[in-house]
Amino acid sequence: MKIPDGPRLPFLLQSPYLIARPLEFLEKCARNYGDTFALRFFGPKSPPVVFFSHPQTLQQIFTLEEEKFEWGKLTYVFQPLTGAQSLIMLEGKQHQAMRHVLMPPLHGKQIYAYGEAIVDITKEIIDGWKVDRSICIRDNMCDISLEVILRVVFGFKEGTRYEDFKQLIKPFLAGVSSPLNSVQFFFSFLQQDWGAFSPWGRFVRCRQQIDDLVYAEIADRRDRNTGEDILSLLMMARDSQGSPLSKEVLRDQLMTLLLLGHETIASALSWAFYWVHKQPSVLEKLDRELESLGSDADAIAISKLPYLNAVCNEAIRIYPIAIISEPLLVKETIELEGYNYEPGAILVPCIYLAHHRSQTFSEPEKFKPERFIDRKFSSYEYLPFGGGDRICIGKAMSLFEMKLVLATVLSRYRLALSDKHPVKPVRRGVTIIPSGGCQMTVTSLREEVKTQKRSARLEVSSK
């Protein structure tokens, strides 16, 4: 099979390079070979792994007929966490049907119902910030996004079950994503329960405790469904046969939303805080826009602010949280850009490189929110949430939450980056997070700044 050109680097070095320094490696390949290049991870004669970033080709890939490929199953490593019936484990008709059930609570006007909770949670968590103290933005954003999932998705707020769940879930998620522990998800032979002190044994026991709490909550809700959170809405939903979802199916979807909707938003917000404070002109402009709303603005009004929207979009353009979209494994020969990809080839839509094409985004390495005000980008040019049938179901909710958290924090505090050196993007799985979590210092309360500005204006006018 004739395939696009790609790095001459020996195949045994290609994947370690990509894993160790993904952005540098991808940029180098794009510079040398353009929008499309082939890697040979599995040996010189094995099927190629081809990366794409041209919008037209991405459009073709995202609209391919289903029978031509199967999903690359990158997310399958999460199965011990999310369960086999999770949306991310399903394919074809079952996948579409589950998306149909999950989309309404995460879409359209429904997300406005979560606005008050998001703002309240943000206020509760930032209440403890003190002037002159250093804070890790990512840790704080993780606390906010976790609390949002617990309240908005699971409907947990207070009480013993909520406290127990929180106690269990934090170390559970931290353990899952720690580099050492996460190895066991990639290799099934490591998944052996050798008692409560073995790594897998610990994981399985903790998961059981979490499941017990989730099932107890579901059982309670069968009697008193409030209809206010996503679990309640899912319990009212019916599958294609008209039946309610079983407790196991509900549990799998809740764990999926928790896993995919927690750190992603926290990382996106950390990048937004970083860029806003890296470039004082952006903060100034954002401040003016937020002030123009007045102090009693509601969540919907905040979410419609054009510059705030542009800042959030640009933050996940420059470092999209996911480097790639779900890869496709070719099942029937697929023709793209004049090449025929035979069964076994892997096609990878590359979000990071699509966002760094200078033909689409001028000076792509610069943070310029204005580009989202001056122009509308197609969903194949700008795709932080992926594309096609598996596009992120949390897209609307993520942008809404990002805007509310950013606006709430900036209306309360003045912050400054603690370190003058640029924060670097570091890989975590297939996501990019800010190195060191983005350390910032609370320099003053917003009210003090406003009073100082007001008195300075008065002084000037009285002269």
Stretch that binds ligand HEM, among 42-50, 190-198, 320-328, 418-426 (CB under 6 A): 320-328
Residue 88 interacts with ligand HEM (CB under 6 A): yes or no = yes
Least Å distance, CB 64 to ligand HEM, is 13
Identify which of residues 199 and 364 has a Cβ nearer to ligand HEM in the complex: 364
What φ, ψ does residue 307 adopt, rounded to 5°? -75, -40
Look up residue 346 and give its DSSP letter.
E
Interface stretch with ligand HEM, choices 117-125, 192-200, 388-396, 455-463 (CB under 6 A): 388-396
In Å, the largest CA–CA distance within the chain is: 80
The yes or no reply on residue 385 touching ligand HEM (CB under 6 A) is yes
- Smallest gap from residue 381 Cβ to ligand HEM (A): 15
Binding mask 11-50 for ligand HEM (x = CB under 6 A): ----------------------------------------
- Contact flag: residue 322 with ligand HEM (CB under 6 A): yes
CB 369 within 8 A of CB 376: no
Closest separation in Å from C-beta 456 to ligand HEM: 38
Is 386 among the residues that bind ligand HEM (CB under 6 A)?
yes
In the bound state with ligand HEM, the residue whose beta carbon lies nearer, of 173 and 445, is 173
What H or E segment, with its residue span, contains residue 440? strand 439-445
- Residue 181, CA distances (Å) to 177, 199, 244 in order: 7, 7, 36
Look up residue 346 and give its two tokens.
Answer: 């892997």
Give the per-residue contact string, 261-280, with ligand HEM (x = CB under 6 A; - = no): x--xx--x------------
Binding status of residue 380 toward ligand HEM by CB under 6 A: no
β pairing state of 346-349 and 49-52? parallel
Helix-strand-coil split of the chain, %, nearest 5 = 60, 10, 30
Q: Contact, 58 vs 384, CB < 8 A?
A: no
Residues with Cβ within 8 Å of 65's Cβ and at least 6 positions away in sequence, in order, are: none
Are β-strands 328-330 and 339-341 bridged in parallel, bridged antiparallel, or unpaired? unpaired
Scanning 126-134, 390-398, 439-447, 453-461 for contacts with ligand HEM by CB under 6 A, the matching segment is: 390-398
398 binds ligand HEM (CB under 6 A): yes
Q: Is 345 in the site for ligand HEM (CB under 6 A)?
A: no
Nearest to ligand HEM of 266, 290 (CB atom)? 266
Residue identified by tokens 């950390």 is: 270
Distance CA 209, CA 283 (A): 44
- To ligand HEM, the closest distance from the beta carbon of 423 in angstroms equals 17
Minimum distance from residue 273 beta carbon to ligand HEM (Å):
13
Interface pick for ligand HEM out of 58, 397, 404, 410 (rule CB under 6 A): 397
- The residues in 288-307 that bind ligand HEM, with binding defined as CB under 6 A, are none
What residues numbered 408-427 form the site for ligand HEM, per CB under 6 A?
none
Residue 407 parent element (H or E): helix 395-412
Applying CB under 6 A, among 3, 136, 391, 445 the residue interacting with ligand HEM is 391
Q: Is 317 helix (H, G, I), strand (E, B) or coil?
A: helix
Q: Pick from 4, 47, 394, 437 the residue near ligand HEM by CB under 6 A.
A: 394
433: which 2 tokens? 């997070």
Q: How far does Cα 248 stand from its chain's mean position?
A: 25
Residues contacting 8, CB < 8 A, separation 6+ = none
Q: How far is CA 218 from CA 78, 85, 160, 161, in A?
A: 23, 17, 15, 12
Check binding of 327 to ligand HEM (CB under 6 A): no
CB of 385 to ligand HEM, least distance (A): 5
Burial of 293: CB neighbours in 10 Å, binned 0-12, 13-18, 19+: middle
Task: Give the binding site for ligand HEM (CB under 6 A).
Answer: 87-88, 99, 256-257, 260-261, 264-265, 268, 316, 321-322, 325-326, 384-388, 390-394, 397-398
